Amino acid sequence: MGRYILRRLVYIIPTLLGASIVVFLIVHLVPGDPARLMAGPDATLEDVALVRASLGLDRPLPVQYASWLERVFVGDLGISAQTHSPVTHELERTVPATLQLTLAAMVVMLVIGLGAGTFAGLRRNSIFDHFSMMGAMVGVCTPSFWLGLMLMQVFAVQLGWLPTTGIGGPDHLVLPAVSLGFQGAAIVARVMRSSMLEVMGMDYIRTARAKGLANATVVVRHAVKNALVPAITVIGLQFGGLLAGAVVTETVFAYPGLGWLLVQSIGFRDYPVIQGALLLLAVQFTLVNLVVDVLYAVVDPRVSYES
C-alpha cells in the first residue's frame, strides 16, 4: 500500500503540471485588460503600460508561465492586484471557511444519501423506496443556487430561524450546507440503492442468513460494507464537486470562502488570485482521487495494490 501511494503521488506531478498550463491559459485568454482596470478610468496609456510592465503582462505568455511556475514551486503565488497582499495570505484566510462548509455539506450528503439509499434498497418497492427515489430525482434536477434561495426565503426571511449571509456560528452553516450537499445526497442515494439491491441478492447474504445470523448483523457487516465499494467512487467525485460547487453557494449566501474570493477576483481580473485559487482546487481534486483509491482497499479486503 505504501509503494502504491508513493507511486500515485509521483503521478500527481505531471497531472498538476498539465492543470497549471490549463489554468494559466484560461486566465490569460479571458477578454479584458487587468492593467486598465487597475490603473483606473482616468489613467493615460503610459500609466496603463507601467502597470502592465509591473505585472509582467507585457512579456510573451511562455515567459510569463515559466516565471509563474518557478514562483509556485517555492510557494510564491504572487501579490493580489486587488488587496496588494500575498495570494497565500488570501488563500489562508478563505480556505478554512470553504473546508468547513464543504465538510458540513459532506455530512449532509452522507447522512441523507447513504441512509436513504440503504433503507430504500432494503425496502424495495415500499412507500419509502418510492418517495426517497422521487426525492432523489428532484434533488438531482435541482440547482444548488435555486435551492439556496428557496431555503433562504423560507427559513430566514419568513420564519426567521436562521441567518441568511455571512459566517459565524453553526447556524450560519445550516442553509449553505444543505443547499450544497442536497444534490450530492440524491446521487449517492440512487447509487447506494442500486448497490444494495445487487448485494442483497448475492449468495453470501443467503448463506449468512442460513447460518442464523441476526438481520442487523447481515445488513451491517455483509451487505452495507460491500455495497459501499461502488458508492465510494461517487462520494469521492461528489466531494470534489462540493469544492467546486462552493463557488456558487458561497456567492448566494455571501459566505467569505474560497469560492467567494474567486468570484470577486474574476470581477476584478485579479490574475494572481484566480490562478492560485484554481490551482489549489486542482490539487484538492487529485488528492481526493488518491484518498478514494486508498479507501477501496480499506473497505474491500479483496482489493490489493501491492502487486
Question: What value does the mean pLDDT take over residues 100-123?
Answer: 87
Q: Is 299 helix (H, G, I), strand (E, B) or coil?
A: helix
Whole-Å CA distances, 87 to 60, 83, 91 = 23, 9, 6
Spatial separation of the C-alpha atoms in residues 105 and 240, rounded to whole Å: 12
What does the pLDDT read at residue 228? 79
Residue 268 in contact with residue 82, Cβ under 8 Å? yes
pLDDT of residue 65: 84
Distance between CA 91 and CA 61 in Å, rounded? 25
pLDDT single digits (tens) 8-49: 778 788 888 888 888 888 777 766 666 776 666 677 777 778
Query: What are 156-202's pLDDT values in tens digits?
Result: 888 888 887 777 778 888 888 888 888 888 888 888 888 888 888 77
**Would you state the torsion angle of the CA atoms of residues 261, 266, 267, 273, taken in this order, to the nearest 10 degrees?**
60
| Cα–Cα distance for residue pair 282/15, rounded to 1 Å | 9
- Beta carbons within 10 angstroms of residue 301's beta carbon: 8
Determine the pLDDT at residue 37: 67
Report the predicted TM-score, pTM, of the whole model to 2 decimal places. Answer: 0.77
- Domains recognised in the chain with CATH numbers: 2-73 (no CATH), 88-299 (1.10.3720.10)
Cβ(124)–Cβ(194) below 8 Å? no
